[in-house]
Amino acid sequence: MAKFPSVRWFDAVREVFNGDESVQGGGGGYCNCIAGMKVGKDVFVLTFEGVECTEAVKADDAALDDVDFYLDMAPADWREMISNIHSNNGADRHHTLNTLDLEREDGLATSHHGDQYREDLFFRYNQTFQYFFNASARIRTDF
Amino acid sequence: MSEAVDTSGEHELDLSWMDQKGPWDTKAEESRYGLTLADIQIGEYGETPDVSDNLTGRPRGSAPRPGSYRIGNYAVRTKNEIWLDNASFLYEEALQRQWSSATDVPWHTIEPLPDDIEQAECQLATFFTEVEFVAGDVPARWVSETTPDFFEARQVLLAQVMDESRHMDVFRKRAMANGGGLMQATGATSGFVGSIDLSRDFTEMSSRLHLSGEGAVLTMFRMGELMAQNEAEKAMYRLCAQDEARHVAFGVMHMRYMSAAAPERREEIHCYLDEAEGQIVSGVGNPAARGGPVGESLAILLGGGKDKFDEGMNMLTAIRRRQFREYKKRIVSAGFGERFENGRSRLMEMFEEAA
Amino acid sequence: MAKSSKASKAKTAKKAPAASAKPSAASDPAIAATPTLVSSQAQGKADSGQPEKQGPVLDWMNKTRQWGVRVKPGKAGLRLGDLNVGIYGEIPMQWSDQSRNPRGAVPRKGMPPVGYAVREKVGMWADSAADLYEEAIQRRWAPATDVPWNTVEKLPSDIERAICQVCTELSQFANVEIETIAGWQHQMVYGYHEVKQYLATASFDAARHYECFRKRALVNGGGLGVEGPGQVNRMILESSGGWSATVAYLVLVRAVFTMTILKYLARHAYNDAERFIYEHVLQDKARLLTYGLDHLHFAVAHDDEQPAVLATVLAIGDRVLTRDLRDPALREALAIIFGRGIRGARRQGMEMYEEMMADFMQTHLGYCRWLGIARAPAEAMPPPLNRHAGASVAA
* CB-based contacts of C121, cutoff 8 Å, min separation 6: C91, C92, C93, C94, C95, C191, C192, C298, C302
Q: Is A59 helix (H, G, I), strand (E, B) or coil?
A: strand
Q: What is the CA radius of gyration of chain B?
A: 25
Taking alpha carbons only, the member of C216, B254, B242, B84 closest to residue A30 is B242
The confidence band for C96, taking pLDDT boundaries of 50, 70 and 90, is very high
CA–CA gap between residue B128 and residue B236 (Å, rounded): 12
Domains along chain C with CATH numbers:
121-394 (1.10.620.20)
Taking alpha carbons only, the member of C332, C243, C183, C130 closest to residue B158 is C183
* CB-based contacts of C174, cutoff 8 Å, min separation 6: C206, C207, C209, C210, C213
B127: distance to nearest CA of chain C, Å?
9
CA–CA gap between residue A138 and residue B280 (Å, rounded): 44
CA distances from A85 to A92, B157, B220, B286, C258 (A): 7, 36, 25, 34, 51
HSE-up of C125 (CA within 13 Å, CB side)?
22
- The pLDDT tens digits of the residues spanning C245-276 come to 999 999 999 999 999 999 999 999 999 999 99
CA–CA gap between residue C309 and residue C122 (Å, rounded): 14
Q: Rounded mean pLDDT of chain C?
A: 87
Q: What's this model's pTM, rounded to 2 decimal places?
A: 0.92
Task: Inform me whether the pLDDT recorded for B291 exceeds 50.
Answer: yes
Record: contact B136-C196, CB cut-off 8 A: yes
Task: Enumerate residues 262 to 291 of chain B having a beta carbon within 8 A of any beta carbon in chain C.
Answer: 281-284, 286, 289-291
Record: contact A101-B249, CB cut-off 8 A: no
The confidence band for B350, taking pLDDT boundaries of 50, 70 and 90, is low
The DSSP secondary structure of C203-230, one letter per residue, reads: HHHHHHHHHHHHHHHHSSSB---BPP--
Contacts B–C by Cβ distance under 8 A: 423
Task: Inform me whether the pLDDT recorded for B354 exceeds 60.
Answer: no
Indicate the residue type of C361.
M
Neighbours of chain A (3+ CB pairs under 8 A): B
Q: Where are the domains of chain A?
A: 2-138
Assess B219–C contact: CB distance below 8 Å, yes or no. no
**pLDDT computed for residue B280 by the predictor:** 77
Record: contact A27-B253, CB cut-off 8 A: no
Long-range contacts, A66-69 (Cβ 8 Å, 24+): A66/A34, A67/A34, A67/A35, A67/A36, A67/A111, A68/A33, A68/A34, A68/A35, A68/A111, A68/A118, A68/A119, A68/A121, A68/A122, A69/A33, A69/A35, A69/A36, A69/A109, A69/A110, A69/A111, A69/A118, A69/A119, A69/A121, A69/A122
Indicate the residue type of C332.
E
Taking alpha carbons only, the member of C239, C184, C231 closest to residue C206 is C184
Q: How many helices (H) and strands (E) does chain A have?
A: 6, 7
Taking alpha carbons only, the member of B119, B169, B130, B165 closest to residue B298 is B119
Structural contact between residues C218 and C150, judged by C-beta atoms closer than 8 angstroms = no
Task: Inform me whether the pLDDT recorded for C23 exceeds 60.
Answer: no
Task: Enumerate residues 99 to 128 of chain B having a beta carbon within 8 A of any beta carbon in chain C.
Answer: 100-103, 105, 107-108, 115-116, 119, 122-123, 126
Task: Enumerate residues 35 to 64 of chain B having a beta carbon within 8 A of any beta carbon in chain C.
Answer: 35-37, 40, 42, 45, 56-59, 61-64
Record: contact C113-B176, CB cut-off 8 A: no
B91: distance to nearest CA of chain C, Å?
10
CA–CA gap between residue C225 and residue C171 (Å, rounded): 11
Facing B242 at nearest CB: one of A25, A118, A123: A123
Structural contact between residues C215 and B40, judged by C-beta atoms closer than 8 angstroms = yes
Q: Is C106 helix (H, G, I), strand (E, B) or coil?
A: strand
Facing B290 at nearest CB: one of C44, C52, C85: C52
Structural contact between residues C210 and B151, judged by C-beta atoms closer than 8 angstroms = yes
CA–CA gap between residue B57 and residue C233 (Å, rounded): 9
Record: contact B183-C138, CB cut-off 8 A: no
CA angle centred on C242, ends C240 and C246, rounded to 5°? 70
Task: Enumerate residues 16 to 75 of chain C having a beta carbon within 8 A of any beta carbon in chain B.
Answer: 16, 18, 25, 31-32, 35-38, 40-42, 44-52, 55-58, 60-73
**pLDDT computed for residue B283 by the predictor:** 61
The DSSP secondary structure of A26-57, one letter per residue, reads: TT-----EEEEEEETTEEEEEEEETTEEEEEE
Q: Is B206 helix (H, G, I), strand (E, B) or coil?
A: helix
Q: Rounded mean pLDDT of chain B?
A: 91
Count of structural domains within chain B: 1
Record: contact C328-B180, CB cut-off 8 A: no
HSE-up of A4 (CA within 13 Å, CB side)?
26
Mean pLDDT of C143-170: 98
Q: Is the peptide bond before A5 cis (omega within 30 degrees of 0)?
A: yes
Taking alpha carbons only, the member of C291, C349, C5 closest to residue C159 is C349
Name B225's bridge partners: none
Q: Cβ–Cβ contacts within 10 Å for residue B315, how many?
A: 22
Domain assignment present for residue B19? The answer is no
B-chain residues near A99 (CB < 8 A): 225-226
CA–CA gap between residue B245 and residue B225 (Å, rounded): 14
Structural contact between residues C19 and C68, judged by C-beta atoms closer than 8 angstroms = yes
Record: contact C106-B63, CB cut-off 8 A: no
A-chain residues near B322 (CB < 8 A): 102, 107
Chain C residue with CA closest to B137: the answer is C186
B161: distance to nearest CA of chain C, Å?
6
The confidence band for C18, taking pLDDT boundaries of 50, 70 and 90, is very low
The class of domain A2-138 in CATH terms is: alpha beta
Mean pLDDT of successive 10-residue segments in chain A (143 residues)? 96 98 92 97 97 97 97 97 97 95 90 95 97 97 95
Domain assignment present for residue B64? The answer is no
Indicate the residue type of A94.
H
B-chain residues near A116 (CB < 8 A): 252, 326, 329-330, 332-333
* CB-based contacts of C262, cutoff 8 Å, min separation 6: C278, C279, C281, C282, C285
Task: Inform me whether the pLDDT recorded for C72 exceeds 90.
Answer: yes
Facing B218 at nearest CB: one of A32, A121, A123: A123
Assess B328–C contact: CB distance below 8 Å, yes or no. no
Record: contact B183-C333, CB cut-off 8 A: no
Record: contact A117-B253, CB cut-off 8 A: yes
Facing B33 at nearest CB: one of A30, A101, A120: A30
B154: distance to nearest CA of chain C, Å?
9
Q: How many helices (H) and strands (E) does chain B have?
A: 12, 0
Name A53's bridge partners: A48
Assess B181–C contact: CB distance below 8 Å, yes or no. yes
C-chain residues near B351 (CB < 8 A): 49
Domain assignment present for residue B6? The answer is no
Mean pLDDT of B190-196: 72
CATH number (domain holding residue B131): 1.10.620.20
What is the phi/psi pair of residue C33, to 5°? -90, 0
B16: distance to nearest CA of chain C, Å?
8
Q: Cβ–Cβ contacts within 10 Å for residue A42, how many?
A: 15
Least confident of B156-160, B295-299, C158-162: B295-299
**pLDDT computed for residue C112 by the predictor:** 85
CA–CA gap between residue B30 and residue B11 (Å, rounded): 39
Record: contact A123-B245, CB cut-off 8 A: yes
Q: Are strands A141-142 and A52-59 parallel, antiparallel or unpaired?
A: unpaired
Chain B residue with CA closest to C56: the answer is B296
Facing B63 at nearest CB: one of C63, C114, C226: C226
CA–CA gap between residue C211 and residue C205 (Å, rounded): 10
Task: Inform me whether the pLDDT recorded for C143 exceeds 60.
Answer: yes
The confidence band for B288, taking pLDDT boundaries of 50, 70 and 90, is low
* CB-based contacts of C116, cutoff 8 Å, min separation 6: C98, C187, C188, C189, C190
Mutate to test the interface with C, among B37, B131, B169 (most CBs of C within 10 A): B169
Burial call C208-236: b when 16+ CB within 10 Å, e when fewer: bbbbbbbbbbbbbbbbbbbbbbbbbbbbb
Percent of chain B with pLDDT over 90: 77
Chain A residue with CA closest to B256: the answer is A117
CA–CA gap between residue C339 and residue C174 (Å, rounded): 26
Question: Is the C-alpha dihedral spanning B316, B322, B324, B330 positive or negative?
Answer: negative
Please give the residue range of the domain that contains residue B97. 79-354
A117: distance to nearest CA of chain B, Å?
6
Question: Is the C-alpha dihedral spanning C301, C302, C304, C307 positive or negative?
Answer: negative
Q: Is the peptide bond before C384 cis (omega within 30 degrees of 0)?
A: yes
Indicate the residue type of B58.
R
